[in-house]
Amino acid sequence: MSLLYSCTFLTLDLQRILNKVSQSVHSRPLLVPPMLVLADTAKHQAPVITTPVFSPSVCPMGSSSSSRRLFGTLAQSLNSTQPDPYPEESPDQDLDHEVNPDQLLRECEEALQRRPARPHRDLVYPRGTEPSRRKHNPSIRVMQWNILAQALGEGKDGFIRCPLDALNWHERKYLILEEILTYRPDILCLQEVDHYYDTFLPIMTSLGYHGSFLAKPWSPCLDVKQNNGPDGCALFYHRSRFSLQDTVHLRLSAMMLPTNQVAIVQTLNCRATGRWLCVAVTHLKARSGWERLRSAQGANLLQSLRSITSRGSGQSEAESGAVPLVVCGDFNAEPSEDVYLRFSSSPLGLSSAYKLLSSDGQTEPAYTTWKIRPSGESCSTLDYIWYTQEALSVDSLLDIPTEEQIGPDRLPSYHYPSDHLSLLCDVSFREEPHKLISAQHRGPGPIGGPSEAL
Segment 340-393, tens digit of pLDDT: 999 999 999 999 999 999 999 999 999 999 999 999 999 999 999 999 999 999
Q: Are residues 24 and 108 in the same domain?
A: no
Q: Are residues 48 and 116 in the same domain?
A: no
Instruction: Return mean pLDDT, the chain.
Output: 80
Q: Are residues 14 and 140 in the same domain?
A: no
Enumerate long-range contacts of 287-290, CB under 8 Å, 24 or more apart.
Answer: 287/332, 290/332
Tell me if 65 is assigned to some domain: no
Q: Are residues 8 and 153 in the same domain?
A: no
Residue 302 confidence (pLDDT) above 70: yes
Q: Are residues 336 and 408 in the same domain?
A: yes
Q: What are the tens digits of pLDDT across the range 12-57?
A: 444 444 444 444 444 333 333 333 222 333 333 333 333 333 333 3
Residue 408 confidence (pLDDT) above 60: yes
CATH number (domain holding residue 267):
3.60.10.10
Domains identified in the chain, total number: 2
Q: Are residues 183 and 290 in the same domain?
A: yes
Q: Are residues 234 and 378 in the same domain?
A: yes
Q: Which stretch of 93-102, 197-206, 265-274, 412-421 has the lowest confidence by average pLDDT? A: 93-102
Per-residue pLDDT band for 155 (boundaries 50, 70, 90) equals confident
Q: Are residues 275 and 386 in the same domain?
A: yes
Residue 442 confidence (pLDDT) above 80: no
Residue 85 confidence (pLDDT) above 70: no
Q: Are residues 6 and 144 in the same domain?
A: no
Q: Are residues 184 and 246 in the same domain?
A: yes
Q: Are residues 47 and 115 in the same domain?
A: no
Cα pseudo-dihedral 211, 171, 378, 122, rounded to 10: 70
How far apart, in whole angstroms, are the C-alpha atoms of residue 204 and residue 239? Answer: 11
Closest CA to 101 of 190, 243, 209, 210: 209
Angle at 172 between CA 169 and CA 174, to 5 degrees: 115
* Phi/psi of residue 153, nearest 5 degrees: -60, -40
Cβ count near 260 (within 10 Å): 15
Report whether 50 contacts 13 (CB < 8 A). Answer: no
422: left (phi over 0), alpha (psi -120 to 50) or beta: beta
What number is the average pLDDT over the span 295-313? Answer: 88
Q: 360: exposed, middle or buried (C-beta count within 10 Å: 0-12, 13-18, 19+)? A: exposed
99 CA to centre of own chain: 23
Per-residue pLDDT band for 98 (boundaries 50, 70, 90) equals confident
Q: What are the tens digits of pLDDT across the range 231-284?
A: 999 999 999 999 999 999 999 999 999 999 999 999 999 999 999 999 999 999
Domain that holds residue 268: 101-453
Q: Of 19, 36, 52, which marks where a domain is finished?
A: 52
Tell me if 271 is assigned to some domain: yes
